[in-house]
Amino acid sequence: MRPLADYHTHTRWSHASGSVEDNLRAAEAIGLEAVGIAEHGPRLLFIGVSRRRWPVLAERVAATETSATQLFFNAEANVISLEGDIDLPPNMMDRLDMLLVGLHPQVIPKGLEDWYAYYGLRWLSLLSRRQRHKLFDAYTQALINCVERHPVKIIVHPGYRLPIDSAALAAACAKKGVRLEINCRHLDAIARDISKAARTSQVEFVISSDAHHPREIGRFQRGCSLVDSLGIDRARIINVDWQEKTR
Ligand SMILES: [Zn+2]
Ligand SMILES: [Zn+2]
């Protein structure tokens, strides 16, 4: 097995420990064809890259000299409303190589109804099953709206920390050619959703490290093992060469 590309990695621009250059060099060292810098959108509390700093980050990525490994300017945007709004500054959308989107619990939601869904309803869902179902439906629909409204390439860690109907999401993604992420950092939390998505749809997957240190880039072993243990057809994973030996 050889990882071909790692589209989801972090740097010091958010809360990880390497620089853009460090991530690129680490990816080159293991022979990746591409590595993506995918920082958090501005409305992720304490961690997101601010609106003001996004253009500076874009410049930094563009100015980084590459050789064998391509460097992608990606983003891990947050869903901030039930309608599927995301928190990426609009002037950044055209500059991105890939838009990755995920549901994260600690965001600054858009409207009042969204504040309620993110915090009030979440709290209530601990108490009652009815509220739990409401929450489940609301989050699922928010992600589906997002896939339908924006040029999303990958939904990251589906099912991580916020419950969703992964079968419904996978069906929407399959229709739009959006991939679901097998995130090696949060693998245990998403394994059930990945299994359900694979069983109920033809959706394709990417494996990512979600690296918070350059040495984690391209570490796909756990993700690959999950694919095999769930019996997912390897051809559905778009960024792994299964024939080649690990370097
Ligand atoms: Zn994330
Ligand atoms: Zn991430």
Per-residue DSSP letter, 44: B
Q: Mean of the pLDDT values across residues 27-46?
A: 97
* Ion ligand 1 neighbours, Cβ < 5 Å: 102
Of 69, 62, 65, give the one whose Cα is nearest residue 30. 69
Whose tokens are 């190589």? That residue is 97
Question: pLDDT over 70 for what percent of the chain?
Answer: 99
Q: Which ligand neighbours the alpha carbon of 75 most closely?
A: 2
Q: Are 247 and 31 in contact (CB under 8 A)?
A: yes
Q: Which ligand neighbours the alpha carbon of 79 most closely?
A: 1
Ligand 1 centre and the CA of 68: distance in Å?
A: 28
Instruction: Name, in order, each residue with C-beta under 8 angstroms of 135's C-beta and a sequence gap of 6 or more.
Output: 117, 121, 122, 125, 162, 163
The C-alpha atoms of residue 131 and residue 14 are separated, in whole angstroms, by 33
Q: Which two tokens stand for residue 159?
A: 């099912």
Residue 247 predicted with pLDDT over 80: no
Dump pLDDT digits (tens) for 163-203. 999 999 999 999 999 999 999 999 999 999 999 999 999 99
Helix axes 187-200, 166-176, angle to 10 degrees: 60
Ligand 2 centre and the CA of 77: distance in Å?
A: 9
Instruction: Tell me the pLDDT band of 10, cut-offs 50, 70 and 90.
Output: very high
- The pTM of this model reads 0.96
- Domains of the chain with bracketed CATH: 2-241 (3.20.20.140)
Mapping DSSP onto H, E and C, the string for 69-121 reads CEEEEEEEEEECCCCCCECCCHHHHCCCCEEEEECCCCECCCCHHHHHHHHHH
Q: Which two tokens stand for residue 242?
A: 């299964």
Ligand 2 centre and the CA of 174: distance in Å?
A: 22
Ligand 1 centre and the CA of 94: distance in Å?
A: 22
Ligand 2 centre and the CA of 39: distance in Å?
A: 7
Q: Which two tokens stand for residue 230?
A: 């769930």
* Ion ligand 2 neighbours, Cβ < 5 Å: 76, 210
Ligand 2 centre and the CA of 80: distance in Å?
A: 16
